[in-house]
Amino acid sequence: MNAAVTAGAGRFAPSPSGDLHVGNLRTALLAWLFARSTGRRFLLRIEDLDRVRAGAEHRQLADLASLGLAWDSEVVHQSARLDRYLGAVEDLRGRGLVYECYCTRREILHAPSAPHAPQGAYPGTCRNLDEAERAQRRKVRPAALRLRADTGRFTVRDQLHGNYTGTVDDMVLLRNDGVPAYNLAVVVDDTAQGVDQVVRGDDLLSSAPRQAYLAGLLGHPAPRYAHVPLVLNSQGRRLAKRDGAVTLAELGHRGLDPAAVRDALLTSLGLPAGLPEAALPAFDPASLPRQPWIYHGELTGDGGAHAGARHGS
């Protein structure tokens, strides 16, 4: 279902902490289909500010290519873009929108929350400390930097979920070890790369209001969101190694080649098997399954969507 060509881009942005499993690959395939069906570029970004496992990025890129997913431009690494993140923090700081925070995760978890705020939302403990109080706390613990948000709720439009209103708290911008926080890096990168379409797992839907709000503060429009269903195990949890053969390498050991995995993933989305380009004419976001794909065991190459897998109810 092709649309007019647009100047924007979609993206897939894995963390190089391990091999991609079938859930990650299914999301990457969807991100590619959303981008290409709307004439957008498709970009890859490696989110390597945290844990990096040797060789993981190489295997991830090889797996994506083996499914027939091609990307535009060079792969971007967050670790090479620190100046951009620090510049965004200084922009916000210059407008009085940044403050120091000395709270531990445990303190935040057990602190009284604002009415209707989810557990773990920052309650503003350090928001109004005076300079003497900050100086005293710096002696005990290095400061993280938080955004001084002026709203507690924000609404985004999602292509699959409609209008979604979620919590906006005083999110961390820089951790107390100086590493840029996820929400900041994602917003800065999407803007810098011209990403105006974000397709990712629906477990990240709750982060979209924070990110869209932050984008607005930095003077940029929010992207077009589409949060897609995950692949879950038989207990309704995210896939892990204990769920059997879940990566391309593991499935390969069981005799399943990447083309068969790709075909199974496409079939699970109600799309024809074959190269991803061949699925584009049939791709329609409105027809996508809205429930998670429940994975009970290894995929098979018998032309069906899966063995022991089904969509959740």
Residue ranges at the known binding site: 11-15, 47, 101, 103, 122, 126, 182, 200, 241
d(CA 249, CA 68): 16
> Which alpha helices (DSSP H) does 9-81 contain, by range?
22-37, 56-66
Query: Which residue is it, tokens 């984008």?
Result: 215
Q: Residues within the annotated binding site for ATP?
A: 241
d(CA 85, CA 145): 12
Q: Which of 95, 241, 253, 296 is catalytic?
A: 241
Residue 67 C-alpha from the chain's centroid: 20
DSSP 21: B
139 a catalytic residue: no
CB 163 within 8 A of CB 190: no
The total of other beta-carbon atoms located within 10 Å of residue 237's CB is 11
Nearest to 44 by CA among 55, 56, 28: 28
Q: Which residues are annotated as a binding site for L-glutamate?
A: 11-15, 47, 182, 200
Beta-carbon neighbour count of residue 126 at 10 Å?
19
Contact 258, 49 (CB under 8 A): no
Indicate which residues carry an active-site annotation.
Answer: 241
